Amino acid sequence: MVEKLRRYPLVSIITVNYNQAEVTCALLESLNKTTYPNLEVIVVDNHSTEDDPAIIKQRFPNIVFIQNPINYGFAAGNNYGLMRARGEYIMLLNNDIEVPPGFLEPLVAKLENHPEIGAVSPRIKFYYQPDTIQYAGYTPIDRITMRNTAIGYREKDRGQYNEDRETAYAHGAAMMVPMRVVKEIGLMSYIFFLYYEEADWCERILRAGYKIYYVGSTYVLHKESVSTGRLSALKIYYLNRNRIVFMRRNLQGKTYFKALLYQLFVAIPKNAFSYLVKGKIRLFLAYYRAIGWHITHLFSKEIHENPML
């Protein structure tokens, strides 16, 4: 059953652009067709150097446009948008998303009608294969292997995930959070730069006593990995560095010790060997830089910081 809206609170949509002005403009064009009557759109440019981000503001003069002088990363870009936002609800959207006209109403209704929910995400489908699901919720991250899976990933969408339900994590590509929750738990941790920042944010939302929901009655379309490539050295570095950052921030006691042993004696040797056997030297070096970062930041207090709004 689709929940009804009794009012239309202001929604602040935040997206981060980096060298993808045309992709971001496609998102904004789809947002121009939304049926939700009360929203502001904030675009944060993370110091694009390969194209001219000014065209975004030229084509869409009604947006709030923030240009950062340095690329501080995806988490920081979203944080700058959060600091500028005026809405009762914040919708984080990847710039490589396009949306159908009525995508917002079910998300707002879910949060309006259930104050115990701290974050929601819609069904996410692949833009170039719109009959195929990317996300219909997440399983919990295993506290030893630090891995989890996206429910419904690469399944044909036959309506099997149209029902709303509780999930372990929202998806950072399309995630709505009440502003009151942001003020309570704080901003995303700057330490992540790219990847895992939303999973860590969800952990903080859960620890504050809120639930997280997947809303299957609405969807968005995702042009996955437009910015970073499917297996780039950048992606390998941040995914693997930040998996361990997430572990260090969210595990304690015996669980942390077991997870650390697994990383040291199973995951790290296995992954490194895999890259070498396949002759992917650049990826191997990126992987070991990711692991080496933790040696040089063994006692860094920055890892555990939670910036507040």
User: In which band, very low, low, confident or very high, does the pLDDT at 307 lie, cut at 50, 70 and 90?
Assistant: very high
**Where along the chain do its domains lie?**
11-222, 233-304
Q: What is the pLDDT of residues 127-167, one digit of tens each?
A: 999 999 999 999 999 999 999 999 999 999 999 999 999 99
Q: What is the pTM of this model?
A: 0.93
Query: Residue 108: which of 5, 262, 230 has the closest Cα?
Result: 5
Cross-strand bridge partners of residue 65: 43
DSSP state of 266: I
Q: Is the pLDDT of residue 22 over 50?
A: yes
Task: State the Cα–Cα distance between residues 123 and 29, nearest whole angstrom.
Answer: 20
Q: Is the pLDDT of residue 232 over 90?
A: no
Q: Residue 211: CB partners within 8 Å, gap ≥ 6?
A: 114, 116, 117, 118, 166
Distances (CA, A) of 252 to 247, 249, 257, 258, 260: 9, 8, 8, 10, 11
Query: Residue 108: which of 38, 23, 184 has the closest Cα?
Result: 38
Position 226 scores a pLDDT of 46
Task: Please say whether the structural domain 11-222 has been given the CATH code 3.90.550.60.
Answer: yes
Position 224 scores a pLDDT of 80
- Cβ proximity of 112 and 10 under 8 Å: no
- Cβ proximity of 270 and 216 under 8 Å: no
- Cβ proximity of 42 and 91 under 8 Å: no
Q: What is the pLDDT of residues 247-287, one digit of tens each?
A: 999 999 999 999 999 988 999 889 888 988 888 899 999 98
